Amino acid sequence: MKFLMIASFLPSVLNFRGKLIEQIHAQGFEIHILAPDLELFENERQKLENLGYKLHKVSMQRTGTNPISDVKTLFEIYKLIQKIKPDYVLSYTIKPVIYGTLAAWLAKVPRRYALITGLGYAFQNVETNNKRSIFQKIVHGLYQQALSHSHKVFFQNPDDLKLFQDLKLIKTNIPAVVVNGSGVNVADFNVLSLPLALDQKIKISFLLIARLLVDKGVREYAEAAKIIKDKYPDVEFNLVGWIDENPSAITQQELDQWVAKKTVKYWGKLTDVRPAIAECSVYVLPSYREGTPRTVLEAMAMGRGIITTDAPGCRETVIDGDNGFLVEVKSVESLVEAMEKFIKQPELIEKMGKRSRNIALTKYDVHQVNKHMMQEMELI
């Protein structure tokens, strides 16, 4: 039996789906992975091939809406699927879900699944504004067509599922399942001691890990950092990430200014985020919307209290006042207020961190999440 995963970014296969395909492989399935730009990720490619998986390159632009290029992508995926002859296909992220699912249907793959990991700029302001741009209408129409040919669609939070249903992007006869994000391997993210200041008290140190996009709340984080540091100069603000090729990316000039003014300590892009999490006492993600934010789960597994937004995907990870605080989307004032609670009541840092670890263990363990998905795909 053959299982094919279609992705738009090879490193995410290892980082976000690695344990899932490992468990599927353990069931005796031959694993195939289809993704673009394999030559750019030699390290990840080698690791996946060493695990016995077969990789296939496809032309696919992660961003951009060139119809000729996208038709070429659809045709290439179709030809590769005909050659591989998989029994199961799972696609995730926008272009693999749309073109991968359509190609799998055209190639008559017996079992076709789609995973909606987040909505991105194709759904920006859709809930607050009844008007949709021409671009959004096209993308939503493509989603509707593709998902109508899937056997089951996985969502990472109930809000995304409801939005797809409200927009009629998923038909009532197509089963939809909400899973607890991508999960986190709690064995790899152990609880580490909180960082200490020179006086041996807990150091107040905030951290944000994200692609440096506007809708990740990076600007709100930097603004809050300026306000807090004016009142509490010893408080630290760390930032991990990179400027992505995305319409909503912040500018290099903005980042350079934050670093020059020592508003944030910039770590750059990390392949292993654990050292950065270990150096923080509170993790912050002011995102406008997520599937289920993996970085939050990793910080929770390492015993850190969380500040995140009361937004789809984010709100599922925090019980307000228990393992952290929920703040208003796009509100610097709300973010500052939550940060000050940790500064004024440092005992919350350890208390909420312990609760985070407990929630990670009981709700987000990657093995439980993957078992749920495999059962729903009838792989076990």
Q: Is 102 in the same domain as 147? A: yes
pLDDT of residue 327: 98
For residues 1-14, give the mean pLDDT: 96
Residue 296 resides in a domain: yes
pLDDT of residue 64: 66
Q: Is 223 in the same domain as 353? A: yes
pLDDT of residue 246: 77
Q: What is the pLDDT of residues 246-257, one digit of tens each?
A: 778 899 999 999
Burial 320-330 (b: 16+ CB within 10 A, else e): eeebbbbbbbb
The answer, yes or no, to whether residue 15 has pLDDT greater than 70, is: yes
Read off the tokens for 316: 């599922």
Q: What is the CATH number of the domain that holds 298?
A: 3.40.50.2000
Number of domains comprising the chain: 2
At 314, the pLDDT band (50, 70, 90 cuts) reads: very high
Query: Chain-wide mean pLDDT for the chain?
Result: 95
Residue 142 resides in a domain: yes
Q: What is the domain extent for residue 351?
A: 205-363
Do 54 and 44 contact (CB within 8 A), yes or no? no
Read off the tokens for 343: 């500064």
Residue 198 resides in a domain: no
Instruction: Mean pLDDT check: name the lowest of 13-22, 60-69, 148-157.
Output: 60-69
Q: Is 255 in the same domain as 341? A: yes
For residues 371-379, give the mean pLDDT: 97
Residue 189 resides in a domain: no
